[in-house]
Amino acid sequence: MATTYLGATSPVNGGAALQQTAAALERIADDRAGINAFVHVDGAAALAAAAKLDAEGDASLPLFGLPVGVKDILNVAGMPTRWGSRSMAQAAPAAKDTIAVARLRAAGAVIVGKTSTTEFAHAMMGYSAAHGLTRNPWNPAVTCGGSSAGAGAAVAAGQVPLALATDAGASTRLPAACCGVVGLKPTLGRIPHDLVPEGFANFIHLGLIAREVEIIAQALDALSGPLDADPHSIGLPAPAAMAALGQPMDWQGKRLLVILKAGNQHLAEDVRVATMQAVEAFKALGMQVSLHDGEIENAEPVWRILQQSNWAARFAAQFKELENVLEPSLVAGIREGLGYSGLELQRALYRRTEIFRRTQALFAGADFILTPVGSRGPLPADHPVLAPIAVDGVEVGDMRREWTPYLSWFDLTGHPAISLPCGTDHAGAPLGVQLVAPWYAEAPLLALAKAYQGRKPWPVWTVS
């Protein structure tokens, strides 16, 4: 399926919102690098919204005129939500915005379109049969990461300065790391989610991707706050992240716990080197660094039961008619989910609680945790989702279990975590580290991320 682009003539003159929006639309339409990050763009609506902002809006709004892409599993009024799936090709335009999109608009942002996702956000690569391959701007031979593939690629390519994504197992932090930008998964419920079918054992977070920590902080403040429909959000105020960025912070003596493995068998040498180089930047801030020397349980087996049960519940009624339409990797996951017993599901929930409590015990001795984002750099762009992966030439097995257990871990526990660029792998593709904080500590987390950015600035991709 080709990108739906509802274009409009770009204005020669106009206010700040109109100029920013027109420039973003031109970059998206140009796409000389063939990134394929957007699956639906409504240029006419975006320009109209920007013109209205310039004429009637408040220029002091925190996101005034900022062009934003929204992952195509989240509802945007007037745009179809196709979930990266051929089964949703004829989806009607959404009747209303999901709450996060409504809050983006209220803060002055302009929604320009929908970014690509793997089918029903089930995979960590950049491909869907519905929309093809989304490419990594830095190196088209390697994956941009997923499932929020277009979000990471669009921000890295400078098409939009901010993207709204989701993160249930890796989907914000992995594409941010693979594309050399910043990806925040806030505390569960900090940005309310009104579309999840199960709100209590849920671990689907909304996430933010940008090139700069400051844009993440501005957006987080705007999108946070309670919503009656999301039990994890009730009673939560905004985190005052921007205020924290504006205050001098003393990191002297703050404790950073470095964890190099999270149950995975191997760690690529280039990842280990890049991670420890990042650690030096935190040491330079005066932080007290310690290296964790114990075993960490791999969270992926628990995650797998919970997520595949979720897929099974969603698709069970239509499975016979959809199994030849959906992608084989998703079908395989649904089949596994259909085979779990209620006892297995409940035991997985018990184990999720155990993982949370062990993580809380780690924070008893640390103010922040630092891990790699993945055990290796970005996989080849065409690597099959169900195929085993290799680390430094050694085949190690399952993609989620061996590449990104660091990420599913903190989806299950709900802790806020941010992916920050930390260098490149042996092939020159971006690598990232994950910085994690206690629940509701997004303000100090972002302040530390900003301080790290000042010590270790990262390169910005530009089209050649």
Q: Which residues are the active-site residues?
A: 71, 147, 171
Element (H, E) at 244: helix 241-245
130, two tokens: 């519905």
Helix intervals (H) in 395-462: 399-403, 405-413, 442-455
d(CA 460, CA 464): 12
179, two tokens: 């594309």
Helix intervals (H) in 36-136: 43-56, 99-106
Single-letter code of the amino acid located at 356: F
Single-letter code of the amino acid located at 319: F
What is the DSSP track for 309-378?
HHHHHHHGGGHHHHTTTS-HHHHHHHHHHHT--HHHHHHHHHHHHHHHHHHHHHHTT-SEEEEESSSSSP
129, two tokens: 């049969």
254, two tokens: 């703050």
Of 264, 196, 181, 184, residue with least CA distance to 227: 196
Single-letter code of the amino acid located at 48: A
Taking CA atoms, 319 is separated from 147, 155, 258, 312, 334, in Å, by: 22, 35, 43, 9, 9
d(CA 165, CA 315): 22
